[in-house]
Amino acid sequence: MYHIIAKAPLKSYFEVFNLPLTFTYMMNAYLVFGAVALILIYWPYRLFLRPIFNLFKKQKAMQRIVQEGMPIEGEVVASQYFGAPHSNGTRKIRITVAFNNFVGTRIQEKFRFFDTQPQQNRYEVGKNVKLFLSDETIGGKKVTLAGGQPKINVKFIAIFLSLFTVVAYCIYTFVIQPIWLRGEQDLDTTILLFDQPTAALLVMIYGSVITFVFLLFRFLGAAMGMKSNWGDFKYHGKQATASITHYAKTGMRINDNPQVKFDITFTTDNGQTVSSSVKKVIDELEIGRIHEMKHIDVLYLPDNPQKVQLTEGALHTSTVSMPKILDGVFRLLVFIFSGVVLGMVLGSILS
């Protein structure tokens, strides 16, 4: 005689804590429903509406900098045109301008815009240009080029609005309306359609992973030696040549190049001797000559000289670009997570 032994189903995380079954269903449903709603709202906004808002935000920020900032002069140290001239004669250009920050340190800023009169060679290397410098960060910027107001591209706005309209129509027609009808046009019944324990568990796991990755990337950005308040050093920092007293590898490698921690000493403008440390990524081919490094250029804050940052020229290119790369990777992970959750939930409800 054979005995059939039925295995007890694995308890859910709600049953472990003896939560009511109705509460379990509702928590699953609300969690999954909230995640799906957030995804359907966020990505159309992020991809199609935010670029338009940023365009107007940038224009307003530049207008405020011109109104509230102080006029200064800068020198063009690099200039490059891109592409052929447009039918109206304008041409896209990128220039690098050197100017003094608020405490007299020479810094550089890049500008990309359309030159309306390229035949006049106004932005050749060595030419002086007028800038406006604001003590307050406005729209993520402190400096703008005089006469460099961004032009509102009507065609650009029309294209993105059209894409947003098409995507919104498709979401409503093929997702929202069918789900609403399956839920008998009742909100509570519709939300209960999202009662999917597997999807709820996936949302919590992915949410935890995304949070961990976000914190990890923030830590990596700080560990690479790029301070989060880099703008304070750039616009308010004094430059000094520091003597290297000791160096050692940190054990971190960025783009297969080792990071080195330097113990340094330097003297401020008022004669104060400061001891501090900075981290710098060294090319693998140059690591053998690191003992030849005796000095390094740094920026310090006059009101707190213990806070030190490498000058922009001394930073390794990977240190400058890595935060943007990490940000792109993070957004890609969130996008993949969104696609997996949407595919699982909508496939189950609409199939």
- In the chain, what is the straight-line distance between the N-terminal and C-terminal CA atoms, in Å? 43
Distance in angstroms (rounded) separating the CA atoms of residues 102 and 205: 47
Q: Residue 94: phi, psi to the nearest 5?
A: -125, 125
Q: Are 148 and 93 in contact, with CB atoms under 8 Å apart?
A: no
The pairing of strands 238-254 and 257-267 is antiparallel
pLDDT at 311: 81
CA atoms within 13 A on the CB side of 228: 7
One-letter amino acid identity for 109?
E
The domains of the chain, with CATH numbers, are 69-152 (2.40.50), 227-314 (no CATH)
Among the ranges given (69-83, 144-158, 309-323), the one the predictor scored with the smallest mean pLDDT: 309-323
What tokens appear for 287 in the block? Answer: 């690591």
Say if residue 264 is exposed, middle or buried (CB neighbours under 10 Å; 0-12, 13-18, 19+).
buried
Q: What is the pLDDT of residues 305-339, one digit of tens each?
A: 888 888 876 665 555 566 677 788 889 999 999 99
pLDDT digits (tens, 9 = 90+) for 259-280: 888 999 999 988 899 999 888 8
Question: Rounded to whole angstroms, how far apart are CA atoms 282 and 174?
Answer: 53
Res. 11: pLDDT tops 60:
no
Structure tokens at 306: 């213990």
Residue 346 pLDDT exceeds 70: yes
Q: Which residue has the tokens 């129509």?
A: 169
Q: What is the pTM of this model?
A: 0.71
Work out the pLDDT band at 350, boundaries 50, 70, 90: confident
Label residue 115 by pLDDT band (50, 70, 90). Answer: confident
